[in-house]
Structure 1
Amino acid sequence: MANSENPTVLIVPGLRDHVAEHWQTLLAERLSKVHTVPPLEVDRLSCAARVEALQCALDAIDGPVILVAHSAGVMMVAHWAQRYSRPIVGALLAAPADVESPFPEGYPGTAVLEENGWLPIPRRPLPFPSIVAASSNDPLGDFERVAQMARDWGSVLVNEGQVGHLNPASGYGEWPRAMELITQLAE
């Protein structure tokens, strides 16, 4: 990295926001230079409101930034990159939620996501280095579709194997590999 200053990690949670035992929350507790996009009080399903919250969080950070997004947070980053411009060191995009495909029961439907501005998924290359960490059995993102998103975004695809949605429901609180991937982005 050209800038010798250590980057700040900005955590970009998915639609369920902050979950105490989630790897993003646990990661944030271990890092010294970290911010998290705060949860929304209103318009919780609005993609535009989520993108604005991401931009506001970035505005509060001076210096280099690495984005660490999970699930719908990945889509927030993709939408943000279409609207805003700021130097980003890199982005770890973990378990992207394929908002164009039906989700299992208990999650927002495609029609709800479409009316709230999530569709279509932006497919232009991201203007910063990125790593997509994907699961081969994610109920919210078919591996082949996620692999295509990674190609479209110009991201490095990392197959994490059968890790579900890489969340507490899939057995993941700690995810040590996240630090390894963040370190790769910072180099």
Structure 2
Amino acid sequence: MTRHLLVPGRGIPRPEHWLRRWARAHPEYRWAPEPPGPPLILRDRVAALQAVVGESDEPAVLIAHSAGCVTTVVWALRHSGPIRGALLVTPPYVDGFEPDDPADLPWVVPRERLPFRSVVVASRTDPYTTFAQFERYAADWGARLVDAGAVGHLDTASGFGPWPAGERLVDELGRGGPGESP
């Protein structure tokens, strides 16, 4: 059995957002952490993800959107756990972002290879990240890059409620073993 952990972005996903839809369709999926609202405190998000990952030795697939991708990558380079893979959907380019809380972790996205399989889903029209920045993230993290086309930030505002292509990517990640290279 594989756990599926949903790692939300900065805000609270709307009811029609694909993450919310997946959570409703799959009651066994867990939020890691529950979707909070602003401010985004990275250290708290990383600690919450660690708490949920640490609840079980059962392998997990991390499903992250936007700032949740930053949480996932920071967690992966500070902690370990039984992770089969991570779906990193439209990670924002935040280098140099000033945290809301001065005691927070520095908002510099790590550029090291992740210790598990990962897929970066990139948009040609994302308002927070250029396609070239997505390509660099994928290369640095050792992730497979999926070009989703002109899909904005792949969120509700961009027209994404259902996202069957994303579900197929999660299924692919779930079939791999922990630590397998992409």
Same topology, TM > 0.5: yes
Alpha-carbon distance, 1:141 to partner? 1.1
Aligned-residue Cα RMSD (Å) equals 1.9
Q: 1:93 and 1:31, CA in 2 relative to 1: closer, same or farther beyond 3 A?
A: same
**1:39 equivalent in structure 2:** 35
TM-score normalised by structure 1 residue count: 0.85
Does residue 81 (structure 1) correspond to residue 81 (structure 2)? The answer is no
**1:71-110: CA deviations, max 9, x gaps?**
0000000000111011200100001111127xxxxxxxx2
Does residue 146 (structure 1) correspond to residue 141 (structure 2)? The answer is no
**1:27 equivalent in structure 2:** 22
Equivalent residues in 2 for 1:106-125, closer than 5 Å: 110-112=97-99, 115=102, 116-125=104-113
**2:179 equivalent in structure 1:** none
Does residue 68 (structure 1) correspond to residue 56 (structure 2)? The answer is no
Structure 1 unaligned blocks of 5 or more: 1-5, 102-109
Equivalent residues in 2 for 1:105-184, closer than 5 Å: 110-112=97-99, 115=102, 116-184=104-172
**2:90 equivalent in structure 1:** 95
Equivalent residues in 2 for 1:48-59, closer than 5 Å: 48-59=43-54
**1:104 equivalent in structure 2:** none
**1:133-186: CA deviations, max 9, x gaps?**
110110011110111011000000000000000001111111111110011112
SS of 2:99 mapped into structure 1: helix
* 4+ residue segments displaced more than 4 Å: none
SS of 1:89 mapped into structure 2: strand
SS of 2:98 mapped into structure 1: helix
Contact 1:75 1:121 in 2 (8 A): yes
Partner amino acid for 1:20?
P
**1:49-80: CA deviations, max 9, x gaps?**
11001111212344110000000000000000
Q: Percent identity?
A: 38
